[in-house]
């Protein structure tokens, strides 16, 4: 069996809005350093990304949007034009070289796709990607270009594959959903915090696709403060049912870890137990239903010190067949990052849950999520 591959290069760290913006790709370097320090990732597993071409970006993005991003990245786009393209907002401020740096993230995901599609590996991770809020003609929610959507259309067009998109970010995967809303060859599955309290406010059960794509869109909006057990039970049951119905050739999963209870931007209450289990279940589904073909991208995660590196490490550990580690993190990693950390730096692989708040209305939330699952299952099976 070919070994899984990990797409990484320091050029992927340059996608950076400004020094105070919550989207900080330092989390990608920290994850990579953690895996290497622990001996789980070696140079022979790492492949270098390439930049996506304009032709590849145009698989899902509009020409005028590409031109706007290029101009904005050179400081040559008027303020009103920027606004119409979702650029230079609080969420997606313009930055120098925006087109080039954004297309590197897309190219990294396409690098993972080609490695799997060409048979060089069965599984590949491109944790720099996962920018699921990007629309065909507009930036949104920290996302300029939508690497997952480009990758899905690339697999569909170039390799004739049916793609299952699995999104476990706390935020609804709206950009990917709407781009493929009327396609019967792509299934989008998103489990996320209900849009009643959280950006982007979409992802209801009733969003099921349109035209030929009706039934190829699955949403599981869960209540605020949802915990591990409730999340995992409805995730596993609904995802496997959706995969069985759709019969995909390949799975592309978006692995935002902002559903963690320490994430500053969401209201879910998952611990490391969920983030150990999610990628292992997706891996199991790929081995069972798609001949092992699985591409994993990153996504949300805004507590870069205490959460993201340990949670994202689990994706690679799942791919490589490693059980979730226990005990202390590698001393080399602790020495490297602990002195820079402005908060308590975690010293162990699993969460120390001393700061975990007991959840109000636990039973009510669980029952509500079960009701959501039951309704979603009726949709999936109909």
- Measure the CA–CA gap between 243 and 164, rounded to whole angstroms: 7
Reduced to 3 DSSP states, what percent helix, strand and coil does the chain have, rounded to the nearest 5?
Answer: 45, 10, 45
* pLDDT of the residue at 2: 84
Q: Which CATH superfamily is domain 5-381 in?
A: Histone deacetylase domain (3.40.800.20)
Q: What is the dihedral of CA 140, 144, 150, 152, to 10 degrees?
A: -40
Q: Is 28 exposed, middle or buried (0-12, 13-18, 19+ CB in 10 A)?
A: buried
- Write the DSSP symbol of residue 348: B
* pLDDT of the residue at 1: 57
Q: Is 360 exposed, middle or buried (0-12, 13-18, 19+ CB in 10 A)?
A: exposed
- Measure the CA–CA gap between 93 and 353, rounded to whole angstroms: 35
* pLDDT of the residue at 130: 98
- Measure the CA–CA gap between 337 and 119, rounded to whole angstroms: 37
Which residues are known to be catalytic? 133
* pLDDT of the residue at 318: 98
Domain definitions of the chain by residue range: 5-381
Q: Is the pTM of this model over 0.95?
A: yes
Q: Is 93 exposed, middle or buried (0-12, 13-18, 19+ CB in 10 A)?
A: middle
* pLDDT of the residue at 43: 96
Query: pLDDT in tens for each of the 382 residues of the chain?
Result: 589 999 999 999 999 999 999 999 999 999 999 999 999 999 999 999 999 999 999 999 999 999 999 999 999 999 989 999 999 999 999 999 999 999 999 999 999 999 999 999 999 999 999 999 999 999 999 999 999 999 999 999 999 999 999 999 999 999 999 999 999 999 999 999 999 989 999 999 999 999 999 999 999 999 999 999 999 999 999 999 999 999 999 999 999 999 999 999 999 999 999 999 999 999 999 999 999 999 999 999 999 999 999 999 999 999 999 999 999 999 999 999 999 999 999 999 999 998 998 888 899 999 999 999 999 999 999 8
Q: Which two tokens stand for residue 224?
A: 């605020």
Please, how many CA atoms are within 13 Å of residue 73, restricted to the half-sphere of its CB?
A: 18
- The continuous run of DSSP H or E covering 126 comes out as strand 123-126
Phi, psi for 283 (deg, rounded to 5): -60, -45
């Amino acid at each position: 069996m070919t070994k899984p591959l990990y797409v990484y290069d320091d050029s992927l760290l340059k996608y950076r809005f400004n020094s105070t913006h919550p989207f900080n790709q330092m989390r990608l370097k920290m994850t990579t350093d953690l895996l290497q320090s622990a001996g789980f990732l070696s140079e022979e597993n790492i492949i270098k990304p390439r930049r996506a071409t304009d032709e590849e970006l145009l698989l899902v993005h509009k020409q005028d949007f590409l031109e706007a991003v290029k101009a904005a990245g050179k400081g040559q786009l008027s303020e009103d034009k920027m606004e119409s393209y979702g650029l230079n907002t609080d969420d997606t401020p313009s930055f120098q070289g925006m087109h080039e740096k954004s297309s590197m993230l897309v190219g990294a995901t396409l690098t993972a796709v080609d490695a799997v599609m060409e048979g060089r590996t069965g599984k590949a991770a491109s944790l720099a990607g996962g920018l699921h809020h990007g629309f065909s003609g507009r930036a949104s929610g920290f996302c300029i270009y939508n690497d997952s959507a480009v990758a899905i259309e690339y697999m569909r067009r170039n390799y004739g594959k049916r793609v299952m998109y699995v999104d476990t970010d706390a935020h609804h995967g709206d950009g990917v959903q709407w781009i493929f809303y009327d396609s019967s060859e792509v299934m989008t599955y998103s489990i996320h915090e209900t849009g009643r309290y959280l950006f982007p406010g979409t992802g209801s059960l009733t969003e099921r696709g349109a035209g030929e794509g009706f039934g190829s869109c699955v949403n599981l909006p869960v209540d605020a403060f949802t915990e591990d057990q409730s999340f995992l039970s409805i995730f596993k049951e609904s995802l496997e049912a959706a995969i069985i119905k759709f019969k995909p050739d390949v799975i592309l999963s978006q692995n935002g870890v902002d559903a963690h209870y320490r994430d500053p931007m969401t209201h879910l209450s998952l611990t490391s137990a969920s983030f150990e289990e999610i990628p292992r279940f997706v891996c199991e589904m790929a081995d069972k239903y798609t001949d092992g073909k699985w591409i994993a991208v990153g996504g949300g995660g805004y507590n870069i010190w205490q959460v993201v590196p340990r949670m994202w490490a689990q994706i690679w550990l799942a791919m490589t067949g490693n059980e979730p580690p226990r005990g202390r993190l590698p001393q080399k990693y602790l020495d490297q990052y602990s002195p820079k950390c402005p908060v308590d730096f975690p010293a162990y692989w699993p969460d120390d849950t001393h700061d975990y708040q007991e959840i109000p209305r636990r039973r009510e939330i669980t029952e509500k999520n079960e009701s959501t699952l039951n309704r979603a299952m009726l949709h999936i099976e109909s």
